Amino acid sequence: MTVSRIWVYAEATDGNVATTTLELLAKANELADTVECVTAAGADVATELGAHGATKVYTVGGTDGKLVGPTVAGAIAAAVEGGNAPDAIFIATSYGGRDVAGRLSVKLDAPVITNVVDIAERDGALVGTEPVFGGTTDVVTGFTGDKVGIFLVRPKSFVPAEDPSGAAAATEEIAPGDLGNTNAATVTNRFVEEKSGPSLDDAAIVVSGGRGLGEQDKYQLIEDLAKALGAAPGASRAIVDAGWVPYSYQVGQTGKVVKPTVYIAAGISGATQHLVGMKGSKNIIAINKDDAAPIFSVADLGIVGDVHKVLPALLEALQNR
Amino acid sequence: MNVVVCVKQIPDPADPGALDPNTKTLKRDVKLILDESDSYGVEMALQLVDTAGGGEVTLVSMAPNSEVGGLRTALAMGAAKAVLVSDEALAGSDALGTSKVLAKAIERAGEADLIITATESSDGYTGTVPEQIAELMGLPSITFAKSIAVEGGTVKVQRQTEAGYDDVEAPTPAVVSVTAGVVEPRYPSFKGIMAAKSKPVDEVTVADLGIDASQVGWAGAGQEILEIAAAEEREAGTIVEDDGEGFQKIVDYLAELKVI
Ligand SMILES: Cc1cc2nc3c(=O)[nH]c(=O)nc-3n(C[C@H](O)[C@H](O)[C@H](O)COP(=O)(O)OP(=O)(O)OC[C@H]3O[C@@H](n4cnc5c(N)ncnc54)[C@H](O)[C@@H]3O)c2cc1C
Ligand SMILES: Nc1ncnc2c1ncn2[C@@H]1O[C@H](COP(=O)(O)O)[C@@H](O)[C@H]1O
């Protein structure tokens, strides 16, 4: 058996295709001759998806004001049961993506390979690589049956095509069977947290603070430093849980995966769950008063010192440049 | 109001296990504790029942060797009773197999208005179990809850999003997964710890739940680990003690990288 057809679950916000979707498309095109998408974002995204190598986009309607999981999974399952089955489906680890993967897994009675950072072909089938123990160990997992292979892939695992030039994809609507009330969850309001400056996703520099800052007010040091560097401010989960900064700042396994040119970790111990979110950064600078902190094991430059001394001095030096 | 909370019992993360190279699963010969991720769900459930002014919290767990260490902690916090599924046939279960077992165990726990899980467990972190349970039970679900309120047959949730949060509601019964840190889990009191010792734990096997053993464990797992390898290591960096000039080292490094 070879891998001939892969589907990518495509997400978009306000008509803009998510970067994670483009990442998945790049990998899917490397692995299969035919790459197609499934989306709940409407037929308009077919142009951009086509440019990135999708030849067809299956659209799923009826998700406006709903959480997408049950409906999208239902439509994919109906297509598969109707004989239109890909070899595998790539889904990004996003809020909606996880929901789709879990629901689909039950509908197809097929397992999901999760936390995937790489996908490869081995003996004619696809296998996924998952990092464990803070990225020190790689586990390669494959499917034992011949069901559709569901892969739940971490953001920033692949690089989107540099020169997207494919023709717009054809579109076809697919619909779910009876959903009962599984899709009854309804969105009544959306709240967007104001955040200025570059985002964690795109910033060339990320400056993150952790519990070592001592108190909430001291996070201002991180914000100031980020501003001086044109960087995005980030955080460990410890201070997100403590309510110092919003969840959207969190870097790590349950937060953002970042891969900037420079990552600065201040007062962060380097727990495995934090490391998996930033270990892929090109250059890592760590400031921690404990010379045995695990963060130093991934640092290119480590300063064993007090953040309350090093950060203000650094800020002053940058502002004087 | 009755709430079922799925709680995973895991090896103490402070004393992490290792992957057994023969069976390719986490070695689990240590005593298990309550997954911290689930302590938030337990606290949330206790508060919801309190607010409703009646009902109880029932725990559901699947764990090897009749393990109750983590369940006792949650019972000491205030949960009323527990269903524990423990069966040798479960060794090697993947997330889908686990969900099939949990869904049946939840049904056994009695009528529930709400089923609470964590968004992901600390050791497995597939994050798919909540949706898999919901689909198996034919229920609506809301994942990534920051807060939960139940009012007359409707559960209202603030659901974390990429940009902030959404207000989402669903009719009960529903499955809701809660994120960490949303409530402050209480410490069990001495009285609670004593009381927990005599709270009922209904221990059942796969057969008791009417599940065919071929659906779970190694037999039912549709995936297998093919290889475990050390990841590529980062090159060792320069670590220096701050002598008051540490900041300058950072400035020089940033300049060298041409980002300032
Ligand atoms: C399922 C699960 C998912 C998780 N997901 C994430 C995630 O996405 N992201 C994440 O970050 N964490 C995550 N965690 C939590 C993670 O395990 C750690 O608890 C967390 O990263 C610790 O944050 P911290 O480094 O800020 O705090 P600590 O571990 O408390 O470290 C503080 C550090 O600051 C240093 N320090 C103290 N004072 C000073 C000073 N004056 N100057 C310099 N250094 C100082 C200390 O030496 C210490 O190393 C997760 C945990 C679980 C169980
Ligand atoms: N063996 C288990 N027993 C009880 N609950 C579980 C078990 N496995 C997973 N769960 C629940 O499902 C959540 C998500 O788990 P996971 O999908 O493994 O990340 C956990 O945080 C628990 O609330």
Q: The domain that contains B130 carries what CATH number?
A: 3.40.50.620
Report the residue among B43, B102, B129, B216 best suited for mutation to probe ligand 2: largest number of ligand atoms under 8 A from its CB. B129
What are the pLDDT digits (tens) for B7-32? 999 988 777 666 676 777 666 567 89
Alpha helices in chain B (DSSP H): 36-52, 69-77, 95-108, 129-137, 190-196, 217-220, 246-256
**Could you give the angle at which helices A95-108 and B95-108 cross, rounded to 10 degrees?**
80
Tell me, what's the pLDDT at B26?
66
CATH code, domain carrying A285 = 3.40.50.1220
- Cα angle, residue A139 at apex, residues A37 and A250 outer, rounded to 5°: 70
Tell me, what's the pLDDT at B17?
62
What is the mean pLDDT of the segment spanning B117-129?
A: 94
What is the mean pLDDT of the segment spanning B110-135?
A: 96
Are A210 and A298 found together in one domain?
yes
CA–CA gap between residue A64 and residue A73 (Å, rounded)? 15
Tally of residues, chain B:
260
Closest chain A C-alpha to B194 CA, distance in angstroms: 30
Q: How far is CA B228 from CA A140, A144, B14, B185, B239, in A?
A: 6, 17, 22, 36, 30
C-beta atoms of A103 and B135 within 8 A: yes
Give chain B positions within 8 Å (CB) of A307. none
What are the pLDDT digits (tens) for B190-235? 999 999 999 999 999 999 999 999 999 999 999 999 999 998 888 8
CA–CA gap between residue A299 and residue B231 (Å, rounded)? 16
- Domain for residue B61, yes or no? yes
Tell me, what's the pLDDT at B28?
56
C-beta atoms of B169 and A188 within 8 A: yes
Does B117 have pLDDT greater than 60? yes
Please give the single-letter amino acid code of residue A32.
Answer: A
- What would the two tokens of residue A85 be? 């089955």
Which ligand is located closest to the Cα atom of residue B144? 2
Q: How many CB atoms lie within 10 A of CB B23?
A: 12
CA–CA gap between residue A53 and residue A57 (Å, rounded)? 11
Total tally of structural domains belonging to chain A: 2
Q: How far is CA B20 from CA A66, A141, A217, B25, B233, in A?
A: 43, 15, 45, 6, 22
Q: Which residues of chain A have pLDDT under 70?
A: 1
What is the mean pLDDT of the segment spanning B62-73?
A: 96
Three-state DSSP state, A199:
coil
Are A122 and A51 found together in one domain?
yes
- Residue B180: pLDDT band (50, 70, 90) is confident
Cβ-nearest to A304 among B119, B223, B240: B240
- Domain for residue B96, yes or no? yes
Check residues B99 and B11 and name the one with the higher pLDDT. B99
Residue B129 Cα to ligand 2 middle (Å)? 6
Does B88 have pLDDT greater than 80? yes
- What would the two tokens of residue A111 be? 């397992």
What are the pLDDT digits (tens) for A195-240? 778 999 989 999 999 999 999 999 999 999 999 999 999 999 999 9
Total tally of structural domains belonging to chain B: 1
Domain holding B84, by residue range, is: 2-226
Tell me, what's the pLDDT at A133?
81
Does B58 have pLDDT greater than 80? yes
Tally of residues, chain A:
321
Give chain A positions within 8 Å (CB) of B246. 287, 303, 305, 309-310, 313
Closest CA to B243 of A305, A170, A254, A168: A305
End-to-end CA separation in angstroms for chain A: 61
Tell me, what's the pLDDT at A5?
97
Domain stop point among A125, A153, A183: A183
CA closest to A228 among chain B residues: B260
Question: ipTM greater than 0.85, yes or no?
Answer: yes
Largest CA distance in chain A: 67
Are A306 and A158 found together in one domain?
no
Q: How far is CA A243 from CA A206, A220, A267, in A?
A: 20, 14, 17
- Domain for residue A280, yes or no? yes
Tell me, what's the pLDDT at A97?
97
Are A210 and A68 found together in one domain?
no
- What would the two tokens of residue B202 be? 């209904």
Tell me, what's the pLDDT at B16?
61
Domain holding A120, by residue range, is: 5-183
Residue B35 Cα to ligand 2 middle (Å)? 9
Ligand 2 atom nearest residue B120's Cα: 19
Are A281 and A149 found together in one domain?
no
Tell me, what's the pLDDT at B221?
92
The pTM score is 0.94
